Structure 1
Amino acid sequence: MSVMEGKRLSAPRVVLGVAVASALAAGGVVGTQWWSARADTPHAAPWTAGYVDVTATPTYAFEEGRSADHRDVVLSFVVAGKGGGCTPTWGTAYTMDEAADRLDLDRRIARLRQQGGDLAVSFGGQRNRELAITCTDATELAAAYGAVLDRYDTDTMDLDLEGAALADEASSVRRAEAVADLQRQRRAAGESLAVWLTLPVAPTGLTEEGTTAVDRFLAAGVDLAGVNAMTMDYGAARGDASMLRASEDALTAVQRQLGVLYERRGTHLSDGTLWSKVGATPMIGQNDVRDEVFTLDDAKALNAFAHDRGVGRMSFWSANRDATCGSNYVDVRMVSTACSGVAQGEATFTDVLGEGFDGALNAGAGARTTPEPTETAQQDDPATSPYPIWQQSAAYLKGTKVTWHRSVYVAKWWTRGDLPDDPVLNAWETPWQLVGPVLPGDRPAPAPTLPAGTFPEWSGKTEYRKGDQVLLEGVPYEAKWWNQAASPAAASVDPDGSPWRQLTIEQADAR
């Protein structure tokens, strides 16, 4: 995800975002609602750690940091060497021993810990080859991962999966098997291993490759600490949304997708637990996409959103860049590896994003994911439902609102038999968009009625032609084609098959 890594939007991210943009209204989500009651399951305190590009020039002194309050870091990226194989390197430039010698990396890490900080190691990134691509033996791959974690004495690994690391099926399967094996080994020895998947997102959430990656890890038996969303570089998928809104939508979608993926593997998790397994990683300041700038105000608002939802992790790319560019850096729209491109004054993104994220990076490494009680679906009461309760046999036109399980949904296109709260992974898979919950005091919306005599009363004996208008119990209808003895009342149940369509009062008045 670094500037040096040359992060670009993958085609699936752009296509996915464009394809579903018209299907999403502002703030809409599908399926599980974030406002539903959270379980009482205790979670580790949320933590923050900025990514550090270990091989970037100029070298960033992460051991000293830019903040006295937030010293934890995610060192990146460990990848395969230029020649491939199973030997881990820092950005293809240094082996672990070479980094100790030429970068003083081991000594600087010791200094970081003297200062009260801790670290995770990130494997992958966009530019180079993640170890699983070139290390074709799962046992050797697990050993390579483990050697790096042992070298730096950390029990938290971050897998930044982009490009080929996501697209290549064989390495994806091998990676999941190796990490599962490594985690089992450590747990059997009484040790811990927290595994975070850092994945690209669109405002609609994880791409198909991203959800596949998560599912492969779950299928292999990996107990994921969470999924960290790279809320950055949206490109065309962002549309007219602000960077903040796109990021909030992406995180909301990821939380929902994560719930669906766990459910499909037989593990029900509460909303609160799912949010604790979500991480956010914006690219501070100027993003790689030229018209995308993530400001300090965005950072403050995203921090508030994350606290409100219960996000478990806050990171950013990168700590190297958390400073105002100097006067010699003329074009701040060109992304720098050493400054943010925005005027920060005395403020740092480290402190603004990390406000209140005071947990220790490794505190939740020993946590285990366990199924939680399934919440009973809330039953709908016609007396307190603002819109008709959804029926499987009914057909619904675009724009029709229904009530289902104490929530209101609106149809995005014609639909029949599709559950409004069907747990789909992507918004484009369902014709329904969640509007919001049924509120206290809600009552059925009264049917629009007109005074008797406005139109003729409907009669089963009368022949009607296209355009004829009638009243049935005060409700106005208009004939779509010739008919006789077809009651307009059926229009609400079968809007396509009925020869009648119900008019709004405004439509009736216009006539």
Structure 2
Amino acid sequence: MSSRFDGRRLSVPRLVAVLVVFAVVITAGWIFVRNERDAAQARSHGSPWFAGYVDVTATPTYAFEAETGEGSESAVLSFIVAADPQSCTPTWGTAYTLDQAGTDLDLDRRIERLRDQDRDVVVSFGGLLNTELGDACTDVQQLAAAYEQVIDRYTLTTIDLDLEGEALKDPAAMARRAEAVAQLQTEKRADGEELAVWLTLPIATTGLTEDGTNTVAAFLDAGVDLAGINAMTMNLDAENDLAAAAEESLTSLHRQLGILYDAAGMHQGPASLWTKIGATPMIGQNDLPQDVLTLDDARRLNAFARENGVGRMSMWSMNRDRTCGANYPDTSVVSDSCSGVDQGDASYAELLSAGFTGTPDDSAAARTREEAAEAVVEDDPETSPYPVWNEDSPYTAGSKVVWHGNVYIAKWWNQGEAPDNPVLQDFEAPWTLVGPVMPGETPAPKVEIPAGTAPAWDGQSVYEAGSMVLFDGTLYVARWWTQGDSPEGAYANADSSPWRALDQDEVRTVLAGGSPSDGGA
């Protein structure tokens, strides 16, 4: 039977091209499906919500139940703590038992009035100044009963555990706390009720502290389905740009959460992780005199949170959301009842809540589900702008490599340290992520060093700081006076070696007539 293809041979290059296109299409389709699943998981967490913290026991009393305008819809009432360091009795700031708060503060009545307006209440346990119940109650069942007493009295679907100071430092108390909360959450869900759990933790621009990551791990290990981690984006020593520092801290937290959930066997995609992040700035004057969250900072932080899909926005505190009066002259000292900033007609609650249209109650039913992990990118030396990382190669500070589709730069000498090792604290990682390999990139041409550019290293010669030598085809510059020290030692111990290898950019500078000191000798 004849065919219109009779006599034609299969073109190998054409077949290879077809297979490459097919692989790209399949990969792109898989990535699209994965990203859609991640987006769907993120949407299942409900609309992001805003609720400002209210210090229940502070004077003057803040009327959280009154409708005061945009941004005041929901409230995080704080803080439930132990009556004393050895008591398992929940109180409001040690000043009122639950019954006393109902009588003296009309708290139950005010909460119901707020709910009659279709607004919501979250209760926060802990804070910095008193003893969190998990530290005071030494029995898991008694601790669970203490938490449940508060949850049931105020019909809560969302709780907030503000853990800082001493509450972060006792592993046994943390394990007890996590076990009690896991037990309560399981029981509530079995009864058809919801209990969303947020951890509110201190943060720096580098992310959570080691105590903070240990806290998250303890709750995940206990089986708590965390609604999210609320970062206290305050007192960041930001040098007049608190919004930028807060954004950096949230980005670091996003990276850390990815590692923590992977370690718990519950991989989450990027969008899902953002829904598990909350931000709580301290409005106006912070405790550090140099840190002031301006109105513009609030706008910028809100825009960053909305762009990335942050799940929650709060602030400390609603009590402080107003301009200080003339009788409070030193606004650099933090006040419990005003912001220390001339707010004019603006409110921080209105600025920070913009676009956060959900409520805590709406999101309480969300469940965390494991997502498919991202496919590992295979690096191609033919298309990588820098050498592909090799575990046997030593790398000096400033070296750039490609690994799993990303470019990294070495912070110090290292060998055998994969650039994408899941390190929770950034200071432990010898590599900094620069960004992804871009389409169409090719290897940067290696600079050939012409003969005579520098003398060959001689073990008998004396070299002053700034002297250049050629050794095994690499240019080195002396960091200080040296004789008899081989440049090869720079790879074994970069800090103690008197020699530093020049990178490709520095070699170009030298060949153009510049000095190696231009690259940082």
TM normalised by structure 2 equals 0.82
1:115 aligns with 2:101: no
Q: Deviating runs (4+, > 6 A) in structure 1? A: 462-468, 479-483, 490-497
Contact 1:397-1:495 within 8 A present in 2 as well: no
Aligned: 1:421 with 2:423: no
Question: Compared with structure 1, are the counterparts of its residues 192 and 389 closer, same or farther at alpha carbon in structure 2 (3 Å cutoff)?
Answer: same
Residue 379 (structure 2) aligns with: 380
Whether contact under 8 Å (1:52, 1:75) holds in the other structure is yes
Structure 2 residue matching 1:228: 3-state secondary structure: strand
For 2:213, the aligned partner's letter is T
Indicate conservation of the 8 Å contact 2:202/2:212, yes or no: yes
Asked if 1:316 corresponds to 2:315, the answer is yes
Distance in 1 of aligned mates of 2:370 and 2:405: 24
User: Partners of 2:115 and 2:87 in 1: how far apart?
Assistant: 32
Q: 1:41-440 alignment to 2 at 5 Å?
A: 41=41, 42=43, 43-68=45-70, 70-82=72-84, 84-234=86-236, 238=237, 240=239, 242-440=241-439
CA distance in 2, matches of 1:247, 1:145: 31
* 1:170 CA displacement: 2.5
Contact 1:88 1:144 in 2 (8 A): yes
Quick check: 2:50–2:71 contact (8 Å CA) kept in 1?
A: no
Change over 3 Å in CA distance of 1:407–1:262 after alignment to 2 = same
Question: Offset of 1:383 from its aligned partner?
Answer: 3.0
**Residue type of the partner of 1:213?**
T
Return the alpha-carbon distance in structure 1 between the equivalents of residues 227 and 254 of structure 2.
Answer: 13
Deviation at 1:192, TM superposition (A): 0.9
- CA contact 1:491–1:500 (8 Å) conserved in 2: no
CA contact under 8 A between 1:86 and 1:131: conserved in structure 2?
Answer: yes
Which digits, 9 at most, give the CA deviation of each residue in 1:59-104, with x for residues without a partner?
0000115324541010000111137422111111111111111111
| One-letter identity of the residue aligned with 1:507 | V
Displacement of 1:316 in angstroms is 0.6
Q: What amino acid is the match of 1:80?
A: A
| Equivalent residues of 1:166, 1:210 under 8 A apart | yes
How many angstroms does 1:400 deviate by? 0.8
| Separation of aligned partners in 1, 2:364 and 2:212 | 23
| Structure 2 CA distance for aligned equivalents of residues 433 and 355 of structure 1 | 34
Counterpart-to-counterpart distance in 2, 1:127 and 1:500: 51
**2:83 and 2:451 mapped to 1: Cα distance?**
84
Q: For residue 247 of structure 1, give the secondary structure of its aligned residue in structure 2.
A: helix
Residues 395, 65 of structure 1: alpha-carbon distance in 2 compared, 3 angstrom cutoff: farther
For structure 1, the 5+ residue unaligned runs are 1-35
Using the alignment, how far apart are the partners of 1:428 and 1:373 within structure 2? Answer: 29
Residue aligned with 2:101, SS? helix
Distance 1:449 1:101, change over 3 A: same
Give yes or no for the alignment of 1:507 onto 2:506.
no
State the 1:491 CA deviation. 11
Comparing 100-109 and 165-174, the one that deviates more: 165-174
Relative CO higher for 1 or 2, CA cutoff 8 Å, sep ≥ 6?
A: 1
Specify whether residues 193 and 412 from structure 1 end up closer, same or farther in structure 2 by C-alpha distance, changes over 3 A only: same
The answer for the alignment partner of 1:18 in structure 2 is none
| Partner SS state of residue 205, structure 1 | coil
Aligned position for 2:28: none
Distance 1:81 1:504, change over 3 A: same
Alignment: residue pair count: 464
Instruction: Determine helix, strand or coil for the equivalent of 1:342.
Output: coil
**Aligned-partner Cα distance in 2 for 1:468–1:425:** 39
- Deviation sequence 1:309-351 (CA, Å, 0-9, x none): 2111000100111111122221111111111110111111111
Partner secondary structure for residue 100 of structure 1: helix
- Give the distance between the partners of 1:493 and 1:318, measured in 2 at CA: 53
Q: How far apart are the structure 2 equivalents of 1:463 and 1:323? A: 72
Query: What are the residue-to-residue correspondences of 1:21-40 with 2, within 5 Å?
Result: 39-40=38-39
Once the two structures are superposed, residues 423-454 of structure 1 have per-residue CA deviations (whole angstroms, 9 ceiling, x without a partner) of 1100111100111122233222222346x666
Unaligned runs of 5+ in 2: 1-33, 516-521
Which structure carries more helix by proportion? 2
Give the C-alpha shift of residue 233 in structure 1.
1.7
Partner Cα separation in structure 1 for residue 60 and residue 492 of structure 2: 68
C-alpha distance in 1 between matches for 2:85 and 2:500: 71
Post-superposition Cα deviations, 1:448-479, rounded to whole Å, max 9, x if no partner, equal 346x6664999xxx99978785699xx87459
Contact 1:476 1:504 in 2 (8 A): no
Q: Which residue of 2 aligns with 1:12?
A: none
- On the 8 A contact 2:276/2:310 being kept in 1, the answer is yes
Cα separation, 1, equivalents of 2:500 and 2:252:
38
Contact 2:158 2:195 in 1 (8 A): yes
> Equivalent residue for 2:30?
none
Q: State the Cα RMSD in Å.
A: 3.0
Mapped contact 1:160–1:197 kept (Cα < 8 A) = yes
TM-score scaled by length of structure 1: 0.84
CA separation in 1, counterparts of 2:238 and 2:344? 30
1:382 Cα deviation (Å)? 2.3
Question: Distance between the aligned counterparts of 2:357 and 2:455, measured in 1?
Answer: 69
Aligned partner of 1:274: which letter? Answer: L
